[in-house]
Amino acid sequence: MKKKILTIVGARPNFMKIAPLEKAFIKYDNIHHLSVHTGQHYNPEMSDVFFKQLGLSEPEKSLGVGSGTHAEMTGRIMIEFEKVCLEMQPDAVVVVGDVNSTIAAALVARKLFIPVAHVEAGLRSFDETMPEEINRRLTDCLSNLLFVSEPAGMRNLKNEGIDMTRAHLVGDIMLETLNMFLPDITRRKRWEDFGLERSSYALVTVHRPVNVDEPGALEELIGILESINFPTLFAIHPRTSKRLDQFGLGGRINALPNLKLIPPQPYIEFLSLLQGCRMVLSDSGSVQSEASFFNTPCLVCRENTEHPVYVEEGTSTLVGRNKDVIGQVVRRIEVGEYRSSSKVIRELGKDVSGKIAKTIVDYFH
């Protein structure tokens, strides 16, 4: 009898992480894999386009929870996902990453005595002002299987007293997805659509509350963008765009001569821009891994990271919103003195989904 596995997706980063996993489960005759979309990200450019580009199967269920406060989203997801579990009776639930959909689904499943597997377990920024940090810690406590993306994650789990027989160091599934689509990404040359040459421009993607939810922080960010003296593409998140309008800063950012605001990019297009840019300024976790894979200098607009391997072995540098530090790093990039990624980064993306799928299958036996 086939084991029914439900994978939960809700936000843009989740979709990329399940693409190789879906293919890995197909190889097992005794596994019936389905996905449930909570609808935490619901705009077409933040959701639908990723399913199409990544070749993902249509979700078995779409919960359509939409936006709201953290409590509202988490509560709505729990209410709706409980109905799904009672109806579908899954044998296991797979959650990925650290969004509200992740903790909500894990909590529902475990209260219904359904085993939970957490992909991207063990990551810690040690910054509890980030809601993702709370989600990560609680999901790891609840999960029966913990799939860890980098060595620091194993150390974190051990330090927290987690039963390490549950933990498996498998690598970074985001890098496996990138490898899957690398030929398409390389062919795309998205920068040409903006009249730019390769390695001539900066790419920006900033959306975290600490950087955009206060007028002072957003003004600091604009000041940083004013100091970059080569063409810059800002793939602007709906949250950031809303805050610019709310704080009356839209005119100032639109007046920057070297800056072009562009909408959130589909997966292939964004990674094409990341592959071709001179540097990226971002507060995203996944961009740190992807930039390091491409050997693209990545200035992380944060004081901490849950992905220390990309600071230690890759191209990421924590710069916060410190304009002086950013200026120093940019100058090193301009004269070709910025560091390169190590071989460790390439190894992190090898057969991650295969290891996860086999471990889950073995768990049932």
Positions marked active-site: 207
Q: Which amino acid is at 147?
A: F
Task: Please classify residue 321 by burial: count the beta carbons closer than 10 Å to its beta carbon, then call 0-12 exposed, 13-18 middle and 19+ buried.
Answer: buried
B/e letters for 151-186, b = 16+ CB within 10 Å, e = fewer, are: ebbbebbeeeebeeebbbbbbbbbbbbbbbbeeebe
Question: How many whole angstroms separate alpha carbon 112 and alpha carbon 286?
Answer: 31
Q: 136 near 153, Cβ under 8 Å? A: no
Supply φ then ψ for residue 39, to 5 degrees.
85, 20
Nearest of 312, 306, 314 to residue 290 by alpha carbon = 314
Q: What is the DSSP string of 202-226?
A: EEEE---HHHHSSHHHHHHHHHHHH
Q: What is the CA radius of gyration of the chain?
A: 20
Can you say whether the dihedral through the CA atoms of 317, 321, 323, 324 is positive or negative? negative
